[in-house]
Amino acid sequence: MATDYRRTIQSWNGTAWVPATTGAYALRRDPYSTNLFVGSHVSNGSWSFGAVTSGDDYQLWYSGDSWATSAIVPSFGTFPVNAGVQAKSNQVEVSVSESEQAGILYGTLASAISAFVSPAITNQCLVNISGTGTTSQFITLAHASLVSYVHLRGASKHINLILGTATASIDKTMTLTDLRVYFSNLDITTARTYTNFTFENCDIYCYNDVDFTNCVLHNCRIFNTGVSCRLIGTTEMTNCIVSGTLTTDTFTGFVANVTDEVSASYTMPTDPLTP
């Protein structure tokens, strides 16, 4: 079966492996004597090689002079092409404890986020979180690892994300979707401020006061018994449930279909200080 096959290529810059964004690469098929599929760079080190035949074995070759001379890229060796598993220029998956495959699958959130080259409003990127591994039900992600325009999406709200560590205030243009997010006391024991974030279909557990500044919260449940949730600036909150105190100081945003239900009967889950 023919398909538009893509593969992520990395090159060594002297100190680290980085996405290859320039050069001349081609796939050769047995007997590897001619260049059958010359690649073109798409973005973030992802290269398109056209209608490669699924099920055949290929080698990756590099040329620096219009194919007058060329050589196999030894780190790739000979590999089969499976049309059903391809790298995408702006989307990767995280499955903790799995073996990493550059441009496709990563074992940590931080490595997946850092794999993208130049995320921007015109280059939106997505990390799909499929699992937390077999040794813990939590994933921990430091605020310092977050990057604007790199969005996080869980396979379901069974994915538990401990978000924070070290920095209490963070300003990033990004979206978290279908996740159970814990604003725990892990390294942050003071009020938090999230600016320009979007939370979509998330359960959020707050163990200290939290300010949402110029944020969007849609279809979320915010559990904040004993602490305050404050909306600031142009924050929009729709179709949400808040278990504790909700305030709208210096607020010019929009609230619709929000239940502010201070309930003494709700018991917060144990703060997951460590994953």
Q: Average pLDDT in the 135-141 region?
A: 86
DSSP labels for the chain?
Answer: -EEEEEEE-EEE-SSSEEE--SSEEEEEETT--S--EE-EEEETTEEEEEEEETT-EEEEEEESSTTSS-EE-TTT-EEE--TTS--BTTEEEEETTSPPBTTTEESSHHHHHHTSSS-BTTB-EEEEEEE--SS-SEEEEEGGG--TTEEEEESSTT-EEEEESS-SEEEEEEEEES-EEEE-SSS--S-EEEEEEEEES-EEEESS-EEEES-EEES-EEE-TTSEEEEEBT-EEEEEEESSEEE-TTB-SEEEEEEE---TT--PPPP-S--
Maximum average pLDDT range among 17-31, 96-110, 123-137, 173-187? 173-187
Average pLDDT (2-7) is: 65
Q: Is the pLDDT of residue 217 over 90?
A: yes
* pLDDT interval class at 68 (50, 70, 90): confident
Pick from 29-38, 98-107, 147-156: least confident: 98-107
Q: pLDDT (tens digit, 9 = 90+) per residue, 153-207?
A: 998 888 899 998 778 999 999 999 999 999 998 888 899 999 999 999 999 999 9
Confidence band (pLDDT; 50, 70, 90) for 89?
low
Residue 82's pLDDT band, with cuts at 50, 70 and 90, is low
pLDDT of residue 187: 85
pLDDT tens, 220-264?
999 998 899 999 999 999 999 998 889 987 789 999 998 887 665
Query: Does the structure show a pLDDT above 50 at 2?
Result: no
Question: Is the whole-model pTM more than 0.85?
Answer: no
Answer with the residue of higher pLDDT: 53 or 120.
Answer: 120
The residue extents of the domains of the chain are: 2-80, 91-260
Residue 4 has pLDDT above 70, yes or no: no
**pLDDT category, 1, cuts 50, 70, 90?**
very low
So what's the pLDDT on residue 175?
Answer: 97
One-letter amino acid for residue 176 of the chain: L
